[in-house]
């Protein structure tokens, strides 16, 4: 019975080509550069490989070479439009250097985070990029990497000693809130994601700092936590708009929350920005196409992905990598924020 493609071995290739296993190995590896293989012999081996459908055992080769040319990428929620540019940045930077990406989606579940990290380590990826910000109330789940040769770089502020690429969320949020204050708003609400998220904590801190500088810390602070979805933004906005007097502006921890706030304002009979101004975070594509267009904080997610890979490969190469690389943000002023009526 003929072998299936999945069971073809290097010995089968050698037998079909009428050469030794060592010769096949030289054809398949860089070793042939040091011990040349005659063109006639190489052609016979390559024909046998094609006819038999032979595929080298990458895992076995990786164990011998101590290298898999694979990088694990762990993200919280690939359905969030913030992450595709970051993933593409990681993939482009990795691919240009001969690495493949193994993508893991955790749904912000600590058990899934631990499980994926364990799986990536066991499959011997060369390094791991963990994206999405950390959790202040969860122990450092990347500490286990210290027992392995696997390198790690975080994207965002994580509770970890590993190097990271991040933005200054406190300063970015302070600028966004300051923009609303500069327009004349005195009752500004902050709509966040999970309270334990380091990203949300930093953006809430920047919001509070801006209020404090303007002398509004006690009278103007309204904070609601939820998650990073449109549903969360909708629910929080409907609740806040029923407060008397209601806030005249909303600073949202991401654009998805802001989109939910748009819908809630419309359902409550409020016009954006005439009755309520809204500012988001991330500058995802929806910000340019919703009406009115959304004022938001632009984050260089693609560039952050590429920087994380460069930092990781420097780490794997034994070079000194920056412990923290902070990338710039930019407030993009559009039509969703205006002076209060």
- For 324-336, how does the pLDDT look when each residue is reduced to its tens digit (9 = 90+)? 999 999 999 999 9
Residue 31 pLDDT > 50: no
Does pLDDT of 241 surpass 60? yes
The predicted structure's pLDDT at residue 53: 79
**SS3 letters across the chain:** CCCCHHHCCHHHHHHHHCCCHHHHHHHHCHHHHCCCCCHHHHHHHHHHHHHHCCCCCHHHHHHHHCCCCEEEEEECCCCCCCHHHHHHHHHHHHHCCCCEEEEEECCCCHHHHHHHHHHHHHCCCCEEEEECCCECCCCCCCHHHHHCCCEEEEECCCCCCCCEEEECHHHHHHHHHHHHHHCCCCCEEEECCCCCEHHHHHHHHHHHHHHHHCCCHHHHEEEECCCCCHHHHHHHHHHHHCCCCCCCEEEECCHHHHHHHHHHHHHCCCCCCCCCEEEEEECCCHHHHCCCCCEEEECCHHHHHHHHHHHHHHHHCCCCCCCEEEECCEEECCCCCCCCC
pLDDT band at 1 (very low <50, low <70, confident <90, very high): very low
Structure confidence at residue 276 as a pLDDT band (50, 70, 90): very high
Binning pLDDT at 50, 70 and 90, where does residue 28 land? Answer: confident
Ordered domains of the chain (ranges, CATH)? 5-56 (1.10.260.40), 67-167+301-328 (3.40.50.2300), 169-299 (3.40.50.2300)
**pLDDT over 80 at 45, yes or no:** yes
pLDDT at 265 over 80: yes
Work out the pLDDT band at 37, boundaries 50, 70, 90.
Answer: confident
């Amino acid at each position: 019975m003929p072998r299936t493609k999945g069971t073809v071995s290097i010995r089968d290739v050698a037998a079909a080509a009428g050469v030794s296993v060592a010769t096949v190995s030289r054809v398949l590896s860089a070793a042939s550069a040091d011990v040349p293989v005659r063109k006639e012999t190489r052609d016979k081996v390559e024909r046998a490989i094609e006819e038999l459908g032979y595929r080298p055992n990458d895992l076995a080769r990786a164990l011998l070479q101590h290298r898999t040319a694979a990088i694990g990428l762990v993200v919280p929620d690939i359905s969030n439009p913030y992450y595709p540019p970051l993933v593409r940045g990681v993939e482009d930077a990795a691919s240009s250097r001969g690495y493949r990406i193994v993508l893991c989606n955790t749904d912000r579940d600590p058990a899934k985070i631990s499980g994926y990290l364990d799986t990536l380590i066991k499959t011997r990826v060369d390094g791991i990029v963990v994206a999405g910000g950390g959790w202040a109330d969860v122990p450092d789940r990347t500490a286990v990497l210290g027992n392995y040769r696997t390198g790690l770089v975080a994207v965002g502020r994580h509770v970890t000693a590993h190097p990271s690429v991040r933005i200054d969320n406190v300063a970015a949020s302070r600028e966004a809130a300051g923009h609303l204050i500069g327009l004349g708003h005195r009752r500004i609400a902050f709509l966040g994601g999970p309270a334990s998220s380091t990203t949300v904590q930093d953006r809430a801190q920047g919001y509070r700092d801006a209020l404090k500088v303007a002398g509004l810390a006690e009278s103007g602070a309204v904070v609601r936590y939820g998650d990073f979805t449109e549903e969360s933004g909708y629910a929080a906005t409907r609740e806040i708009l029923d407060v008397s007097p209601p806030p005249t502006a909303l600073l949202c921890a991401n654009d998805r929350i802001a989109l939910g706030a748009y819908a809630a304002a419309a359902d409550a009979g409020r016009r954006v920005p005439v009755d309520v101004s809204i500012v988001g975070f991330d500058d995802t594509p929806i910000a340019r196409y919703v009406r009115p267009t959304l004022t938001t904080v632009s984050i260089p997610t693609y560039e952050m992905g590429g920087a994380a890979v460069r930092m990781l490969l420097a780490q794997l190469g034994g070079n000194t990598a920056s412990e923290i690389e902070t990338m710039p943000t930019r407030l993009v002023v559009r039509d969703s924020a205006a002076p209060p009526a």
